[in-house]
Structure 1
Amino acid sequence: MNTKNLVLMALLIGIGTALYVVIPGFVQGMKPDFILTMMFIGILLFPTLKETFLLGLSAGVLSGLFTTFPAGFLPNIIDKSVTAFVFLAIVLVLKKLTTNMVVTTISVGIGTLISGTIFLSVALFAMGTDVGAPFLILFSSVVLPAVAFNAGAFIVIYPIIQKLVKRSNFKTSLSNA
């Protein structure tokens, strides 16, 4: 693993964390997840098992530390770790299409949908967290808007990162494209 690539992954997760912290929570403390968006960008740049493991685990721990959802630490770690590898599988299956912005944006939307579903399932059913709202209400009022929000954020952020990475000496999937 290249040290420069580790630094770039840390910067992505750090920026995502800073944005996650300043976005206020809504509907039972849940909020759109910039850490997730940056994790997806990191996986697109470095689509390997080791990098995906690091991105998923660090994103999960940081999301868990700063969550406003009751008892959300463990569900965040489980959610981000599982979602990272599912997203990696999507990226590897669609390898030839990941240069297309529409395909990658749809992939980010699907990844966010998977992440939200896993998080709510673990938090509500496995952990037994009672937040006063059932799964379907939380799913429709938080997860679905988060899908749109994360896809929109991805559309804005990813081209900027693509340009910066192409101008640098980073060894990413973009430098091979």
Structure 2
Amino acid sequence: MKLKNNILTALLLTIGFILHQITPGILGGMKFDFLLAFIFISLFINSTFSNTILTALLGGILSAMTTNFPGGQISNLIDKLVTCLILFIIIKGIQHFKLNSFIVALISGLGTFISGTTFLISALLITGLPVPLKVLMITVVLPTIVINGLGTAFLYKIVKRTLKISGIAIDNFNS
């Protein structure tokens, strides 16, 4: 993997980390995980397996550092790894299509669903949940699917345009 690709991944995740930090917790201390949007963008821009693993580990560590959820550190690592690996397979499966806003929003919404479900199920098995799983799925995961789907599509266009204007060529850039 090239250094410039690693640096871009780190920068994207840093932006997501900052947004994650300023996002207030809601029901049961859960947060809308805006870091996911930048994880997804990193995977769209550089869809190599090594970047997928790097993104999953860095994203999981950053989320674990900021979680308000009791015992959520391990669950964050698990959910980011599972989500990134599944999205890697999906992105590779559609790589012959041009990524447009609809496809980016759809994949990001699916990724958010996978992430939220994996997080909550792993948290349930590891430490338990402060409220029933169904309540958390309806009040946290479903709204986050919409926000992350639309937000990621919007941010992806900005990042893509910025890379084009700056003349930065990224390997495996899926425009």
The TM-score range, normalised by the shorter chain, is over 0.9
| Alignment partner of 1:48 is 2:48 | yes
> CA shift at 1:89, angstroms?
0.7
**Structure 1 segments unaligned to the other structure (5+ residues):** none
> CA shift at 1:17, angstroms?
0.2
Is the CA contact (8 Å cut-off) linking 2:60 and 2:80 kept in structure 1?
Answer: yes
Q: Which residue of 1 aligns with 2:4?
A: 4
CA distance in 2, matches of 1:155, 1:31: 20
CA distance in 2, matches of 1:136, 1:130: 11
Q: Which residue of 2 aligns with 1:140?
A: 138
Worse-matched range after superposition: 138-147 or 153-162? 153-162
TM-score by length of 1: 0.94
> CA shift at 1:105, angstroms?
0.9
**Structure 2 segments unaligned to the other structure (5+ residues):** none
Identity %, equivalent residues: 35
Alignment partner of 1:173: what SS?
coil
Match 2:155 to one of 151, 157, 168? 157
Could you report, residue by residue, the CA deviation over 1:100-127 in whole angstroms, capped at 9, with x for unpaired residues?
2211210100000000000000001x21
Question: How many aligned residue pairs are there?
Answer: 174
Q: Which residue of 2 aligns with 1:172?
A: 171
- Structure 1 pair 157–127 and aligned structure 2 pair: CA distance change class (3 A): same
Tell me the amino acid that sits aligned with residue 48 of structure 2: T
CA distance in 2, matches of 1:75, 1:98: 33
- Equivalent residues in 2 for 1:1-177, closer than 5 Å: 1-124=1-124, 126-131=125-130, 133-167=131-165, 168-174=167-173, 177=175
> CA shift at 1:97, angstroms?
2.5
> Relative contact order (C-alpha < 8 Å, sep 6+): which is higher?
2
Worse-matched range after superposition: 83-92 or 94-103? 94-103
Alignment partner of 2:92: what SS?
helix
- Structure 1 pair 113–99 and aligned structure 2 pair: CA distance change class (3 A): same
> CA shift at 1:151, angstroms?
1.2
- Structure 1 pair 74–173 and aligned structure 2 pair: CA distance change class (3 A): same
